[in-house]
Structures are given as C-alpha cells and as structure tokens.
Chains A and B, each alone.
Chain A
Amino acid sequence: GQSLEQPSEVTAVEGAIVQINCTYQTSGFYGLSWYQQHDGGAPTFLSYNALDGLEETGRFSSFLSRSDSYGYLLLQELQMKDSASYFCAVRDHLNQAGTALIFGKGTTLSVSS
C-alpha cells in the first residue's frame, strides 16, 4: 500500500523560510507533487518532481530524493497569504487499471506578522 507522512502543523513569521517535509512509501513511484489549499477551497497544484533534485518556481521550491523516499517543499519570503494547508502526493498503482494520486494528510501553515 501507500503511505505519506508530513507534519500536521508549521508556524512561521512573515519574511521567513519554512520547509515542509514529506516521506512516502509506495509500491511503485511516478513522482511527488505538492498542492496548496486555502481554507475551504479547491486544492491547487504547486509543483511536481519526477527526478531527484530541486525544482524552483518563484518563492516556492520542491526537492526530491528517490533513494530516501523523501521530499520537501520550501517556501521563501513568507507572506500572510501563504497561510494554507499543503499536501504532498504520490502517483502510484492502486489496482491493475492504472495510477492515481494519493495524498498525505496535509500540513497547516500559519504565517504571522
């Protein structure tokens, strides 16, 4: 089966840097994704890593180490609007039919001024 572990809560102040870790166990592996969800809203895509290394998109970066089954999301120059839940997700085989995204339980980030 699949399992993903990420911290339940993280707090930080505006302008700071925060790292949200994710470890996973899957029967196969096709990439690690990160999604952001503001309170009550639809999750939105942030990043995708299929290969080892760092992917940078503006203030957000995502890292993957396939040998360690580990990744992280790095948020720099934090702003109040970054307060949200962040989910890591892996694509994995569930059944014979194909693959689907399985999500972690999410990390709630609170940014204070």
Chain B
Amino acid sequence: DAGITQSPRYKITETGRQVTLMCHQTWSHSYMFWYRQDLGHGLRLIYYSAAADITDKGEVPDGYVVSRSKTENFPLTLESATRSQTSVYFCASTSSSRELFFGEGSRLTVL
C-alpha cells in the first residue's frame, strides 16, 4: 500500500531495554523525520534525514539513534529506554518544504 507506515503502533517496554520503531514510506521522499508528542509540548523533532545515509539531530535527540541505509526506511532506536521516553512517536516524510506526510504514530510506554 502506498503511504507511510509505522510499526509497532503500540509498544510497552521496561526501563533499560532497547526499542526500535520502524518507519516505511513508499513515495521515495528524500526527507524523513521523527517527532515525539507529549502533552504540553506539541511535536518536537528528534532526528531528521535529508537522504539515505544523511541524518542530523533535531531539538531533542538525546537517548535516540537513527539510521537511513535505504530511502524508504527510517528506524528510530531507543538504546536504553527511560520512563521519560514514554510518548507518541510520529514519523513523517516529504519531497519538498511545503507539506509533511505523517504516519499514524507509535505509542510507546516505558515502565
């Protein structure tokens, strides 16, 4: 199916565990982004990527790692999850500066 998909949609994990959130888009968009959304903070940029093998930090990158070996995939890894990383994570992509297309979100709970 065309579009941008995130997996898993829901995840419960424990403090200290490694978690990877997957993001896949079928449009061949150059740019991809990871945001987290928390009450009172809106959408905050974690990492972004301008193309395969090009990634850069956003506003809140600490505790996260990304990679982009293929244009269509942009996984986000929490190497050692903490309770403060409980959040809703949105992946987005675009081919231009005009419009971002968001996935449906991954809801992560860290116990």
Asked whether, in the complex, the Cβ of B35 is within 8 Å of the Cβ of A103, the reply is yes
Q: Which residues of A contact B90 (CB under 8 A)?
A: 42-43
Question: In the complex, what residue of chain B is closest to A30 when comparing beta carbons?
Answer: B97
Asked whether, in the complex, the Cβ of B103 is within 8 Å of the Cβ of A106, the reply is no
What CA separation (Å) do A35 and B97 show in the bound complex?
14
Q: Which residues of B contact A44 (CB under 8 A)?
A: 102
User: A interface, how many residues as a size bin?
Assistant: 20 to 34
With contacts defined as CB atoms under 8 Å apart, how many contacts are there between chain A and chain B in the complex? 68
Interface size for B (C-beta < 8 A) is 26
What CA separation (Å) do A43 and B36 show in the bound complex?
12
Residue B58 lies at the interface, judged by CB distance under 8 Å to chain A: yes
Asked whether, in the complex, the Cβ of A42 is within 8 Å of the Cβ of B103, the reply is yes
Asked whether, in the complex, the Cβ of B42 is within 8 Å of the Cβ of A105, the reply is yes
